[in-house]
Amino acid sequence: MAGNDSFTLSVAGRARSKVSPFYNPTLDNLSKEARDLFENYSGIDPDRVVSHVEEIRDRAWAIFPYPCIGLFRFVNLSLRTSPLYPSILSRLKDDKQTFLDLGCCLGTEIRQLVADGAPSENIYGTDLRPEFWELGYELFRDKGSLKASFLTGDVFDPFSELGKLDKKVDILHAGLFFHLFSYDQQIEVAKKIVKLMRPVKGSLLLGWQVGSLDVGVLQSSDGATILYRHDEESWAGLWREVGEQTGVKFVVESQLVEGARYFIRDGQPAEPWVEDPKRLMFSWENGAQRDLRLDNSQWRKDRKLHPSVMGTKWSDVILSPSLKDSIMSDITTFFDYEEMYTSLIPWKRGIILHGTPRRSSVETTEGDDKDKGVDKDETETLDEEKEVAKPISEYTNQHIKFHILRY
């Protein structure tokens, strides 16, 4: 199957012309974020940004006419809109984790991560077409500074240089990628991703693709196969199948989002399928649990809390130094002895820190129901510090500020 995606076989082959509905002659609505990236990361003169992007786009279109190129979607910066983005940045910056962008094309998402402070040494891009990556250096004018590595590879080729990253990737991004392939090929891609990911809890895949309630193969009016689209259920089903085949557990989250008329030029007549604007945003974590949240004395799973917890740093927790040191030591010791705790201690054992953004308090829970309150003196110190306390995340509300629970 080397090198073939459905698109190669159908639409793109017929669409290289600039009168294609997938080719927008001008870049009319560059987002503020993308403009910032070109002006501040690449140092391009504000008056030159649009013509610069248009010129590089034409060269990319000549390499291969994907709609994301013809319609300037490659400057859209979707990764940063994920609620997981703050935690991804912190994992790359603080924990020096490894990031791979699969089907990275010109490498736009990688540049955003680097502009936001992620060290580029631990970042990789891979694509079937290395010409796109080379052009990316011209687009972002960073050949001399970017330390991210590019690996040429057909994702279906078991002998490609991508194998270097087997079991080493902590976070993998796949933007507009899966839909290019048939269902069976998607299973193969998914298994390749499992092979690439570090085999530990918390390894993360995220991305997005064209989605639809009309699940399955999409054909154009002349019967050519174009894309294979999922909704949330079929996507979860695919990962269930991959889990059964690989023995790996995933927590899969996905959301079918209604978007703008996305894959066709404005004002262009098109086949009905391109009028279906849905996108499927997704993520999974290897063996991760959703965080539990305590509301009105009831535990419930909260999928939004997880990104908030993952994005939280110890430096965000404002406590008196002695109390903070002792909590940190409790928690790190707890996680260091995973095996022992798993075999000896009831599953409810854990450590929960909670409090409003401005008035922190701490409570530790051990065993079933034994709670330890906070020393009064410590709480008073916190009150004095409340002016400098800041909210940890947009997902935090009411009483839960910070939460760590180990099963």
Ligand X SMILES: C[S@@+](CC[C@H](N)C(=O)[O-])C[C@H]1O[C@@H](n2cnc3c(N)ncnc32)[C@H](O)[C@@H]1O
Q: Contact positions toward ligand X, by CB under 6 A?
A: 3, 5, 66, 68, 73-74, 103-105, 127-129, 132, 153-156, 175-177, 180
In the complex, minimum distance from the CB of residue 261 to ligand X, in angstroms, rounded to a whole number: 17
- What residue number has its CB nearest to ligand X? 175
In the complex, minimum distance from the CB of residue 222 to ligand X, in angstroms, rounded to a whole number: 21
In the complex, minimum distance from the CB of residue 3 to ligand X, in angstroms, rounded to a whole number: 6
Closest to ligand X by CB, 177 or 239: 177
Select from 165, 232, 171, 152 the least CA-distant residue to 192. 165
In the complex, minimum distance from the CB of residue 176 to ligand X, in angstroms, rounded to a whole number: 4
Closest to ligand X by CB, 127 or 302: 127
Closest to ligand X by CB, 23 or 402: 23
Report the distance separating Cα 150 and Cα 190, nearest Å. Answer: 20
Question: In this structure, what are the phi and psi dihedrals at residue 3, rounded to the nearest 5 degrees?
Answer: 80, -5
Centre a 10 Å sphere on the Cβ of residue 224 and count the other Cβ atoms it contains: 14
Tell me 128's DSSP state. S
Instruction: Compute the Cα dihedral for 227, 195, 405, 95 and give only its sign.
Output: negative
Centre a 10 Å sphere on the Cβ of residue 120 and count the other Cβ atoms it contains: 18
Q: Are 331 and 351 contacting, i.e. CB atoms less than 8 angstroms apart?
A: yes
In the complex, minimum distance from the CB of residue 86 to ligand X, in angstroms, rounded to a whole number: 20
Greatest pairwise CA separation for the chain in angstroms: 76
Closest to ligand X by CB, 101 or 232: 101
The structure tokens listed for 38 are 């070109």
Closest to ligand X by CB, 103 or 357: 103
| Mode of pairing for the β-strands spanning 149-152 and 216-219 | unpaired
In the complex, minimum distance from the CB of residue 156 to ligand X, in angstroms, rounded to a whole number: 6
Closest to ligand X by CB, 118 or 128: 128
Sequence-ordered alpha helix ranges (H) in 197-315: 232-246, 305-310
Closest to ligand X by CB, 151 or 309: 151
86-113 burial, b at 16+ Cβ within 10 Å, e below that, comes to: bbbbbbbbeeebbbbbbbbbbbbbbbbb
In the complex, minimum distance from the CB of residue 294 to ligand X, in angstroms, rounded to a whole number: 38
Select from 325, 365, 329 the least CA-distant residue to 347. 365
